[in-house]
Amino acid sequence: MSETATHSAPLDGVRIIEFAGIGPGPFACMMLADMGAEIIRIERPVTESGSESLHQKDFMLRGRKSIALNLKSPEAAGIVLKLLKQADGLVEGFRPGVMERLGIGPDICLQTNPKLVYGRMTGWGQDGPLANAAGHDLNYIALTGALWATGEASRPPAFAMNLLGDFGGGGMYLAYGMVCALLKAQSTGHGDVIDASICDGTLNLMTFIHARRAMGEWKDERQANFLDGGVPWYAVYECADGHWISIAPLEPQFWSCLLKLLEITDEAFNNREDEANWPTIRTRLEDKFKSRPRQHWVDLLEGTDACFAPVLSPVDAARHPHIRARSLFVDGQSDQPAVAPRFQQAVLEPSTPVPACGDDSKQVLLDAGFAEAEVKRLMADKVVQGRDTD
Q: Which residues form the catalytic set?
A: 136, 166
Judge contact between 386 and 358, C-beta under 8 A: yes
Residue 332, helix vs strand vs coil: helix
**What span, in angstroms and rounded, lies between the C-alpha atoms of 231 and 248?**
10
| Range list of β-strands (E), 146-288 | 192-197, 235-238, 244-247
Judge contact between 191 and 181, C-beta under 8 A: yes
- Residue 188, CB-side half-sphere exposure with 13 Å CA sphere: 13
Of 20, 3, 6, 69, residue with least CA distance to 360: 69
Judge contact between 105 and 74, C-beta under 8 A: no
Q: Within 10 Å of residue 114's Cβ, how many Cβ atoms?
A: 11
**What span, in angstroms and rounded, lies between the C-alpha atoms of 245 and 102?**
52
